[in-house]
């Protein structure tokens, strides 16, 4: 079964982590030491705050775009999701430059440290919640809300009693992604100097050559992940299936009246902070820079590699997300829970940990794939699969299983029923998941650096190469191209997601 295969693949880095951790001199002492506890505390605090704020942003923005009459909804949808194309390390450098000591714009105290890290990660991750929530809202049967209105509920009550419960699975899934992404992030927290477990792990690998100690910290990260996954399952609730219906009329939208433009401005303020400011700083500095710049053909080849690898990862992740998503939603078994936890546990692992695990397995046991693009794609899928799974799950949960039953009574096999009935209905959600995987893979750095074939670059690795000599001079052209290519892909990807959902 596909579920077993996926679980096995995802467990690889975890197995390797445990293997290395067991080599430590005194793993238990290290794991429970004051230092580890401090790092863990900081990590959880950061992740919790970021998740709370990002979920609120994402849900509110999704509701505004799907249930009110703000203008230019298509374009606005793309703009709101724009921070997805900015790597967190670029966002952090720009924030520090614009608002930190010796600021370009204005000094905001606390940019370096917890507040800056929380702000950067919130701005970078709210689109995850936004996209999944929006896909759900777009695919839901409007009859529910209309019925509530016709029975006399005022709009606010309709929101609370009908819309919010519908959104619970999506908010929970998106929130989990945000939480785990924050756990694994290295770029923003290292630049804005807030030491989380991941920073400690990287620091250990970089300054000592003992692979056991960072592995013990990595196990702490995995433990945190499992707790988060369990919390999310409770938060998801027994999502009573709502009805997603194909070819339906659009959901009712609230007229905003004189609030239309202020709300639009408020909506725009968020992506302006998350994407506009870093882009502006990047362009400004790059235009001043006196660097020798990158050769065009190097950048072009890197762009092709980036897009090819990321697209492959997105497709594979989505294809694998469907069977596991169905398994988890339709068959509430222990096995399903295990598969889901295994698949999700890898998301919080720093890319370096995943990379070294794959180096170990591939170099020693499967040399054929070692240092090939296929292994890089595999690493991306392991790292980002939960994005596709979360989106798939939320969408599948919104489909009434009765529809498939109908198809089966009419003679379809279960797989065919799945394919002909459910898949078209969840296409929007799947496309949203695929878009997320694509965009996250474009930005990925640590695993790409270690696993790529010699001579292959992605745009992210070019940014890294240039940044060694001073970020703006060499790294800016690659960073701008990375953002541009991702942004170009964002538009069509979102349209695909939205159209699929609204059908």
Partner 1 sequence: MSKSLRATLAAVVAAAGLVACTDGGSGDLVVYSGRNENLIRPVLERFAEDTGVDIRVRYGDTAELAATILEEGANTRADVFFSQDAGALAALAAKGRLAKLPGDVAEPVDARFRDPGGRWVGVTGRARVIAYNTNRVPAGELPESIFELTDPKWRDRIGFPPTNASFVAYVSALTEQVGRDRTKAWLEGLEANGAKTFDNNIVTLEAVADGEVDIGLVNHYYLYNEFEQRPGSPVANHYPGQEAGGEGTFVNVAGLGILEGTDRAADARRLVAYLLGRDAQEYFRTETAEYPLAAGVEPLPELPALAELRVIDVPLHRLGRDLEASLDLLKEVGLT
Which parts of this chain interact with partner 1 (CB under 8 A)?
35, 101-102, 190-191, 193, 195, 203-211, 213, 290, 304-305, 308-309, 311-312, 315, 319, 322, 352, 356, 359-360, 363-364, 367, 370-374, 377, 419, 423-424, 446, 449-450, 452-456, 465-466, 468-470, 473-474
Helix (H, G, I), strand (E, B) or coil at 242: coil
* Residue 407: φ, ψ to 5°: -60, -40
Q: Which residue, 120 or 171, is less far from partner 1 as judged by CB?
A: 120
Q: Which residues contact 322 (CB under 8 A, 6 or more apart)?
A: 392, 418, 423, 430
Least distance (Å) from partner 1 to the CB of residue 337? 26
Least distance (Å) from partner 1 to the CB of residue 33? 10
Calpha distance 366→281 (Å, rounded):
44
**DSSP state for residue 346 in the 8-state scheme:** G
Least distance (Å) from partner 1 to the CB of residue 185? 15
Measure the CA angle with vertex 216, ends 210 and 219; round to 5°.
140
Q: Which residue, 211 or 236, is less far from partner 1 as judged by CB?
A: 211
Q: Which residue, 64 or 299, is less far from partner 1 as judged by CB?
A: 299
Helix runs in 346-444, H state only: 351-365, 373-397, 401-409, 414-417, 423-443
Calpha distance 24→112 (Å, rounded):
33
Least distance (Å) from partner 1 to the CB of residue 252? 31
Strands in 199-256 per DSSP E: none
Q: Which residue, 40 or 312, is less far from partner 1 as judged by CB?
A: 312
Calpha distance 330→393 (Å, rounded):
10
Q: Which residue, 154 or 206, is less far from partner 1 as judged by CB?
A: 206
Q: Which residue, 210 or 337, is less far from partner 1 as judged by CB?
A: 210
Least distance (Å) from partner 1 to the CB of residue 206? 4
- Cβ atoms of residues 65 and 73 within 8 Å: yes
Rg (CA), the chain: 22
Least distance (Å) from partner 1 to the CB of residue 59? 29
Least distance (Å) from partner 1 to the CB of residue 486? 17
Q: Which residue, 200 or 229, is less far from partner 1 as judged by CB?
A: 200
Helix (H, G, I), strand (E, B) or coil at 364: helix
Chain length of the chain:
503
């Amino acid at each position: 079964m596909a579920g077993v295969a996926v679980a096995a693949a995802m467990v690889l880095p975890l197995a390797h982590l445990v293997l290395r951790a067991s080599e430590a001199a005194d793993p238990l002492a290290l794991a429970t030491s004051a230092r580890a506890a401090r790092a863990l505390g900081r990590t959880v605090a950061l992740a919790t705050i970021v998740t709370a704020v990002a979920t609120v942003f994402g849900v509110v923005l999704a509701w505004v775009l799907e249930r009110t009459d703000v203008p230019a909804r298509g374009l606005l949808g793309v703009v709101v999701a724009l921070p997805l194309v900015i790597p967190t390390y670029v966002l952090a450098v720009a924030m520090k430059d614009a608002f930190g000591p010796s600021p370009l714009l204005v000094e905001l105290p606390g940019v370096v440290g917890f507040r800056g890290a929380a702000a950067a990660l919130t701005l970078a991750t709210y689109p995850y919640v936004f996209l999944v929530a929006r896909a759900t809202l777009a695919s839901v049967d409007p009859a529910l809300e209309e019925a509530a209105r016709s029975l006399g509920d005022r709009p606010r009550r309709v929101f609370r009693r009908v819309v919010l419960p519908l959104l619970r699975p999506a908010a929970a899934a998106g929130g989990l992604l945000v939480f785990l992404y924050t756990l694994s992030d290295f770029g923003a927290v290292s630049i804005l100097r807030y030491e989380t477990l991941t920073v400690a792990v990287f620091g250990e690998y970089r300054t000592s050559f003992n692979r056991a100690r960072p592995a013990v910290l990595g196990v702490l990260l995995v433990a945190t992940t499992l707790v988060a996954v369990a919390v999310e399952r409770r938060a998801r609730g027994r999502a009573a299936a709502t009805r997603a219906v194909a070819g339906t009329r659009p959901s009712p939208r609230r007229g905003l009246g004189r609030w239309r433009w202020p709300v639009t401005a408020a909506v725009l303020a968020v992506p302006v902070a998350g994407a506009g400011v870093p882009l502006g700083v990047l362009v400004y500095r790059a235009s001043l820079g006196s660097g020798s710049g990158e050769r065009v053909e190097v950048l072009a080849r890197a762009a092709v590699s980036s897009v090819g690898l990321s697209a492959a990862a997105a497709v594979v992740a989505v294809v694998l997300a469907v069977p596991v998503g169905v398994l988890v939603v339709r068959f509430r078994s222990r096995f399903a829970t295990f598969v889901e936890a295994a698949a999700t546990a890898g998301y919080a692992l720093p890319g370096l940990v995943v990379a070294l695990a794959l180096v170990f397995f591939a170099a020693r046991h499967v040399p054929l794939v070692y240092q090939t693009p296929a292994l890089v794609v595999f690493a991306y899928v392991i790292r980002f699969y939960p994005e596709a799974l979360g989106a798939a799950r939320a969408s599948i949960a919104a489909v009434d299983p009765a529809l498939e039953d109908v198809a089966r009574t009419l003679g379809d096999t279960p797989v065919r029923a799945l394919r002909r009935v459910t898949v078209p209905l969840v296409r929007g959600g799947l496309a949203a998941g695929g878009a997320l995987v694509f965009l996250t893979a474009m930005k990925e750095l640590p695993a790409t650096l270690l696993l790529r074939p010699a001579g292959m670059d992605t745009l992210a690795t070019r940014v890294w190469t240039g940044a060694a000599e001073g970020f703006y001079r060499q790294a800016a052209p690659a960073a701008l191209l990375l953002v541009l290519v991702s942004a170009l892909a964002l538009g069509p990807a979102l349209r695909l997601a939205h159209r699929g959902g609204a059908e």
